[in-house]
Amino acid sequence: MTDTHAGAGPGRGDAHFVVLPDREEAAAAARLFTRPGTRTLPHASGRPWLIGRWHDDEIVTAQAGTTALAAIGCCPLDGPRLRRHAGQLRGLTQLDALARSTAGSFHLVAAHDGRLRVQGTASGLRLVFHAEIGGVRVAATRADILAAALGREPDVEQVAVRLLWPVPHPLQEAPLWKGITAVPPQDALVVAADGRSTRHARWWTPPEPVRSLSAGAALARDALADAVHARTRQGGTVSCDLSGGLDSTSICFLADRSPSHVVASTWPGRDPADTDLHWARQAAEFLPDVEHVVWDADASPLVYTGLLTIDDLLDEPTIGVMDRSRVLHHLPAMADRGSRLHLTGIGGDHVAWCSEAYYHRLLRTRPLFAVRQLRGFRALWQWPLAGMARALSDSRPYGKWLADSVGHLRGPLPDTVSGALGWGGEPRLFDWVTPEGEQLAARALRTAAQDARPLHRDRGLHADLEQIRSCTRIIRQWDAMAARAGVPMASPFLDDRVIEAFLSVRPSERVSPWRYKPLLAAAMRDVVPQVCLRRNNKAAASMDASNGLREHRADLLALWEDSRLEQLGLVNGDALRALAQRPATPGLRQAILYSTIAAEVWLRGLPRTAQTWATTAI
């Protein structure tokens, strides 16, 4: 399989591409994406199949007759093994087994008998979109690539939806432009031989949580070890976050077992009550071969730093812009120390722990056990008894819950217990959103509620999956930012095999008011020293957020001058400008500005984004 390109592609970690059917009509669409610097993989016919940017280390390809396979991302399969799969392929559905059994995190693309199959990851970290361009169906890993080719402006209703806090399923999966379709993470896109007809084929379902903690611990340990090994097996130098928490500590100890030299990176918190540095140094004592770098706490950027200078290409608004400077600040120094990849413990909170909403079902199936546990949760989280009773007695189906939320968009923030024990956090709009913005968001909610289905019938597993997907939608943007900064990031906890292993354990043993992340602690028992597994809390970084509001009030004020959201009629600019001058407003402690800031930053970057895609394609 020949790869025609104008160079080695971009830095690692920022692979993006489009997929074209093997049709003569695709030539017009191909021209929209072919520019100097892009790479092309052809079909057996010689017509373009993949066009995009990727590094040589990020792609594995194989061809057998008219069947071609490509894995783009972190895939431990080599060319010969993938070629065997290609030679044995008799139908596209056979790829389900390959996708469900391979470690790592990658897009899987297949061409077979004139048909295409394109899929990302069940976690949502790698997504797939598609649109009709030039008379054929074109798939892409980013929605903005397709929007630029179509010359589309953002759909104002979808922008209004992104002002909700939070954005509930399934609205968060919708692209920001009309004419572009998102493929749900659990599905693969299949394009027929005519190059136009499409369907979404389910390839992944979450495991039933039936394993015991002891049985699941070994599976979770092996899955996480495989995920780390997939990134470290090549050797060289890798860096790791080492906050002292269970998640990052587990990654560091697993990486230390690899052929790679490990540099551990610790940012102490500014809050005197923050114990991260103590736990990080304790872990480092057991890692004599690991270089431990401790940064100056006061040098760490605060939340809200650099909002006015963000120039990353984003295909949707993301609250990740609030912490962009904090996430990227140390990466150049890691590059100077030779790091080729930075491993994080991100995702551990979403995978190693789980939603208390499982107790909605457990109360009905194991009432005595559930009541005992719920008493513990009430003491731990200070939940009001009346709120717990309302949440636990609420048996509305998901669609009804979503439809009912429309009537409360302007209400006060709900009690945390209602989201913790229910279908999720009920969405809200805030005072600065205009009636026009509310009308658009409410219309989208009502429309979605008509056919909305939860991610799982058990509201606990639904909440887990929704939180994982919400996390990965932020991380996919951070990953692209990190690659641009010089050191790509990877988050092994968010690999599909890791998620499956953790979700397969019974929730009654995975979440408890008496033990902190018991499954991860059990899984790491033979990997991480026992003293390092005793931590039962994590830093909140609330001081960094509150200080950031005060120190960057001028930037926030400037952000609302000539506001793009105000020009669209979605927000009251005067209200936002007044709020920026009152950073001590109590409500701001709840991060209620995040979704609005994310939308504004994204809109400000659109003209440059469209121009960049138009001139450089992908």
Lowest mean per-residue pLDDT among 4-18, 145-159, 541-555? 4-18
* Percentage of the chain lying above the pLDDT 90 cut: 86
Predicted local distance difference test score (pLDDT) of residue 198: 98
Where residue 111 falls (left for φ over 0; alpha for ψ -120 to 50; beta otherwise) is beta
Top-confidence residue, 208 or 589: 208
Q: In which band, very low, low, confident or very high, does the pLDDT at 210 lie, cut at 50, 70 and 90?
A: very high
* Percentage of the chain lying above the pLDDT 70 cut: 95
pLDDT at 36 > cutoff 90: no
In sequence order, the β-bridge partners of residue 115 are: 112
DSSP code, position 571? B
Predicted local distance difference test score (pLDDT) of residue 590: 82
pLDDT tens, 454-481?
999 999 999 999 999 999 999 999 999 9
Section 151-175 average pLDDT: 97
Question: Is 25 exposed, middle or buried, given 0-12, 13-18 or 19+ CB atoms closer than 10 A?
Answer: middle
Q: How many CB atoms lie within 10 A of CB 583?
A: 17
Section 480-493 average pLDDT: 96
Q: What is the pTM of this model?
A: 0.95
Q: In which band, very low, low, confident or very high, does the pLDDT at 7 lie, cut at 50, 70 and 90?
A: very low
Q: How many CB atoms lie within 10 A of CB 78?
A: 10
Radius of gyration of the chain (CA): 24
Section 262-281 average pLDDT: 87
pLDDT at 613 > cutoff 70: no
Mean pLDDT rounded to a whole number for the chain: 93
Q: Order the strands of the 261-266 sheet from edge to edge.
A: 291-294, 261-266, 237-241, 339-343, 489-490
Predicted local distance difference test score (pLDDT) of residue 252: 98
Predicted local distance difference test score (pLDDT) of residue 8: 37
Long-range CB contacts for residues 377-383, cutoff 8 Å, separation at least 24: 377/513, 379/513, 380/513, 381/416, 381/417, 381/420, 383/415, 383/416, 383/417, 383/420
| Under 8 Å between Cβ of 247 and 349 | yes
Query: What are residue 146's phi and psi, to 5 degrees?
Result: -70, -40
Rounded Cα gap, residues 470 and 375, in angstroms:
29
| Under 8 Å between Cβ of 409 and 429 | yes
Domains and CATH numbers, the chain: 4-153+181-202 (3.60.20.10), 206-613 (3.40.50.620)
Of all helices (H) and strands (E), which one includes residue 141?
none
DSSP code, position 319? G
Q: How many CB atoms lie within 10 A of CB 221?
A: 21
pLDDT at 48 > cutoff 70: yes
Section 426-453 average pLDDT: 97
Query: What are residue 184's phi and psi, to 5 degrees?
Result: -55, 145
Sequence-distant (6+) residues with CB within 8 A of 273 are: none
pLDDT tens, 542-600?
666 778 888 888 999 999 999 999 999 999 999 999 999 887 787 777 889 999 999 99
111 three-state secondary structure:
strand
Beta strands in 487-605, from DSSP E residues, in sequence order: 489-490
pLDDT at 214 > cutoff 50: yes
Section 350-358 average pLDDT: 94
Predicted local distance difference test score (pLDDT) of residue 615: 64
Sequence-distant (6+) residues with CB within 8 A of 526 are: 221
pLDDT tens, 502-520?
999 999 999 999 999 999 9
| Under 8 Å between Cβ of 239 and 339 | yes
Section 287-293 average pLDDT: 97
| Under 8 Å between Cβ of 463 and 169 | no
Question: Is 271 exposed, middle or buried, given 0-12, 13-18 or 19+ CB atoms closer than 10 A?
Answer: middle
Q: How many CB atoms lie within 10 A of CB 215?
A: 13
pLDDT at 493 > cutoff 60: yes
How many residues make up the chain in this entry? 618
CA distances from 328 to 455, 477, 593 (A): 32, 12, 22
Predicted local distance difference test score (pLDDT) of residue 583: 79
Long-range CB contacts for residues 195-201, cutoff 8 Å, separation at least 24: 195/21, 195/22, 195/23, 195/25, 195/26, 195/135, 195/136, 195/137, 196/132, 196/135, 196/136, 196/137, 197/137, 198/130, 198/137, 201/92, 201/93, 201/117
Section 160-188 average pLDDT: 97
**Residue from 391, 448, 441 nearest 414 by CA:** 391
DSSP 164-231: SBS--TTGGGS-SSTT-EEEPTTEEEEE-TTSS-EEEEE---PPPS-B-HHHHHHHHHHHHHHHHHHH
Predicted local distance difference test score (pLDDT) of residue 5: 46
pLDDT at 315 > cutoff 60: yes
pLDDT at 392 > cutoff 90: yes
Predicted local distance difference test score (pLDDT) of residue 9: 40
Tokens of 80: 């010969």
pLDDT tens, 66-97?
899 999 999 999 999 999 999 999 999 999 99
Percent of the chain as helix, strand, coil, to the nearest 5: 45, 15, 40
Where residue 396 falls (left for φ over 0; alpha for ψ -120 to 50; beta otherwise) is beta
Residue 22 identity (one-letter amino acid): D
Rounded Cα gap, residues 124 and 400, in angstroms:
25
Rounded Cα gap, residues 417 and 356, in angstroms:
9
**Number of helices (H), then strands (E), in the chain:** 26, 18
Residue 94 identity (one-letter amino acid): Q
